Structure 1
Amino acid sequence: MKHITAEQFRAVLAALGEQGAEDVAWSESIAPPATAEDFAQEAIFVICNSGMKNTIAKMIFDRCMSALAAGTPVTDVFKHKGKAAAIEAIWADRDVLLSMYHACSTDALRLELLVALPWIGNITKFHLAKNFGVNVAKPDVHLQRLATREDCTAQALCERLATEVGLRAATVDVVLWRACANGVINSRTGEIAA
């Protein structure tokens, strides 16, 4: 497979079943963070998720949020000192960070603000932006492989398919990522599982 068609995308979405439908419903309805706590929790989740399986990241995230609620050091429950310090800093500055985020007038400015957060990098800024409702694709390893096969960027791939199937580019990203993570699409070869 060199070029993912709208028909193939729909087949991939169908193969994902209920999980795919839930991902689409979630992604199509995301709104910007309404509270400082929403802002901080999403940023903390992305930090926990960076370099980890989602199931492990969720457990770490829950422990971190419990520690923050109890007023105990995050390092008591998460031994990654760099990530723990970033989590505590974002939690402490959440009110100001939310105000700064809402003051950004463009998605480009939002991305600049997010990449300036501790432990949010040039790839994870897209993950966090998507969780805040920004219509961007995260050029992670799977999406980048698929985009390279089409000689374009992850954003261009997702925007093209979004136009063809009537979804947001960020939603197409979520579906393609899930399909790769679940083995429905082999991102190395571009093959779609039967």
Structure 2
Amino acid sequence: MTRDEYLAYREMVAKLDPDAMERVKTKAPPVDETDFALRVSYVILNSGMKWTVAKDIWNRMRPSLVETGEVGDTFGHPGKTKSIDLVMSNRSEFFEGFRSAWKEGPEKVIDFCGALPHIGGITKYHLAKNVGVDVAKPDIWLERVASQSAETVQELCARLSRQSGDSVSTVDYVIWKTCQQGWWRAGAFPSDKLEPD
């Protein structure tokens, strides 16, 4: 994907959802242990689920988490419920671990995220983004786009970030949304088969 193609897709995404570009900028780090635990809980909930479905469940679950520190009867997935409850009950310890990792840099934060309950090899990037690291989540859509120019997802998003001035998180979202909407297809543009800049 070239810079010009990315910018054209970014314009399409912005027209589809005018507030999206503001929402997907790199997030600030969590301010306290509850903020951190809620961000982790949302990513656990969202993993392997359409975000539209997760959003509805989250709207039911979040008040219980804030009020009681537990999922309660707001969600029926036993594994995710156990992990979310564990994160909420150990939020002080996990937040301190996050703060220590933050001092050591983005890679340490990503590694720390991967060690949390119910967070896997791809999901750790989603969580890292949600706690303030400017990184891409290498999901299947982004992998497909990156493979067309023989780049990794991180290389593709970093290159387009440098070329466009957008954050890596913004580039990640634009590419994901472009694929999700069916606008991007492998080989659709001549540059899909070219070497990266």
**Cα distance in 2 between the residues matched to 1:68 and 1:123:** 25
Counterpart contact for 2:9–2:178, Cα < 8 Å = yes
Tell me which residue corresponds to 1:60: 57
Write out per-residue CA displacement over residues 152-173 of structure 1, whole angstroms, 9 at most, x where no aligned residue. Answer: 1100000111111011222211
Is 1:91 matched up with 2:68?
A: no
**Cα distance in 2 between the residues matched to 1:190 and 1:92:** 48
Aligned length: 187
**Cα distance in 1 between the residues matched to 2:109 and 2:69:** 30
Distance apart, 1:63 and its partner CA: 2.1
1:46 to 27, 43, 48: 43
Q: Secondary structure at the match of 2:19?
A: helix
Change (3 A) 1:70 1:28: closer
**Cα distance in 1 between the residues matched to 2:138 and 2:180:** 14
Is 1:171 matched up with 2:170?
A: yes
Write out per-residue CA displacement over residues 4-50 of structure 1, whole angstroms, 9 at most, x where no aligned residue. Answer: 11111111011113455533322335111111121111111111111
**Cα distance in 2 between the residues matched to 1:84 and 1:11:** 41
Tell me which residue corresponds to 1:114: 113
Counterpart contact for 1:48–1:57, Cα < 8 Å = yes
CA-based RMSD of the aligned residues comes to 1.8
Identity among equivalent pairs (%): 36
Tell me which residue corresponds to 1:156: 155
Counterpart contact for 2:26–2:133, Cα < 8 Å = no
Stretch moving more, 15-24 or 81-90: 15-24
Write out per-residue CA displacement over residues 98-122 of structure 1, whole angstroms, 9 at most, x where no aligned residue. Answer: 1211111111111111111111100
**Cα distance in 1 between the residues matched to 2:21 and 2:132:** 13
**Cα distance in 2 between the residues matched to 1:102 and 1:27:** 23
2:34 to 32, 37, 42: 37
TM-score, structure 1 normalization? 0.88
**Cα distance in 2 between the residues matched to 1:190 and 1:53:** 26
**Cα distance in 2 between the residues matched to 1:40 and 1:9:** 34
Counterpart contact for 1:15–1:184, Cα < 8 Å = no
**Cα distance in 2 between the residues matched to 1:19 and 1:33:** 29
**Cα distance in 2 between the residues matched to 1:80 and 1:29:** 30
**Cα distance in 2 between the residues matched to 1:190 and 1:96:** 48
Distance apart, 1:182 and its partner CA: 1.9
Stretch moving more, 41-50 or 24-33: 24-33
**Cα distance in 2 between the residues matched to 1:151 and 1:118:** 33
Counterpart contact for 1:115–1:125, Cα < 8 Å = yes
Question: Which consecutive unaligned segments of at least 5 residues does structure 1 have?
Answer: none
Write out per-residue CA displacement over residues 136-188 of structure 1, whole angstroms, 9 at most, x where no aligned residue. Answer: 111001001111111111000001111110112222111111111122223xx
**Cα distance in 1 between the residues matched to 2:110 and 2:51:** 23
Counterpart contact for 2:64–2:71, Cα < 8 Å = yes
* One-letter identity of the residue aligned with 1:87: I
